[in-house]
Amino acid sequence: MEIGFIGLGNMGFHLARRLIEAGHRLIVFDTRAAAIDRLVKRGAAKAGSPREIADQVETIMASLPTPDVVLAVATGEEGVMAGKRVRRFVDLSTTGSRMANRIFAALKARDIIQIDSPVSGGVIGAEKGTLAVMVSGPRGEFELLAPVLSVFGKPFFIGERPGSAQTMKLANNLLSATAMAATSEAMVMGVKAGLDPTVMIDVINSGSGRNTASEAKFPKSVLPGTFNFGFATGLMYKDLRLCLEEAEALGVPMWIASAVTQMFQLANSQIGPDQDFTTVIQCIERWAGVEVRAKPESNT
């Protein structure tokens, strides 16, 4: 399939790379020339704007950092909407359902189909092709795109209503962030009391406290002190704020989500939005005066 791909950051690069390796013809665009060059060296063609891509292909995918960037790429003067050939816009970003509906309405006026397709699984999942791919849009479009999206991981059809996949993604990321925040508090408490953090993780992962943070994020990023799991604090904070906004619009109380959002807001300001989101534990460590790191003899 001929595919346009916009946004070649940490996630987008691997998604685009996997499409090329699967035999699809790609035309790519990013605001950074170096990011484009990485894909051109792997066989992609380059374009000077989203509109230029939309003049050449029917299917465009985007992996972008914020809702406003997605809106500009989709509906701006040099955006996808201005293209002559494009028929469908597949948004792999996390924008929230309200922005998804706004983009859907704008594109529909130009007979372009909006497909929400946010992904979960991080940079590692993008690299290995093991992402959960959440899709909402016309059922026929999902069936058409499913073989292509399978290059990224496992596609799930969420529903035909615009924005449904975005709601699913926000619910997923809330749970991911909550696991990270709660596990951080528990681990700092244990280390402050003199427990070995490696033994703590082993016990938690063998017991009822097991979660995505204890299984992957702590062993890979926190205990060794690398903090390189592959998802920025600023992006997680953005997703949590979108989740709260959506819950408020739906009339759903979110007391726990509010507390988790406050913790990531603190990490966003104290540690930095560009730092890995696993650094949220550092806010608690600083307060408690301890660090949750594997001891040299137990560091695997």
- Which residues are within 8 A (CB) of 16 and not within 5 positions of it... i.e. 6 or more apart? 5, 8, 26, 28, 39, 44
Those residues whose C-beta lies under 8 Å from the C-beta of residue 216, and which sit 6 or more positions away, are 229
Give the span between the Cα atoms of 74 and 6, in whole angstroms: 10
Tokens representing 28 are 């790519």
Which one is catalytic: 169, 192, 220, 295?
Answer: 169
Number of helices followed by number of strands (H, E) in the chain: 13, 9
φ and ψ at 159, to 5 degrees?
Answer: 160, 175
- Which uninterrupted H or E stretch holds 35? helix 33-40
CA dihedral over 139, 144, 147, 150, signed as positive or negative:
negative
Does the annotation count 238 as an active-site position?
A: no
Q: Work out the number of other CB atoms within 10 angstroms of the CB of residue 203.
A: 15
Q: Which DSSP letter does residue 178 get? A: H
Are residues 138 and 107 in contact, defined by beta-carbon separation less than 8 angstroms?
no
* CA separation for the pair 152, 168 (Å, rounded): 18
Active site residues: 169
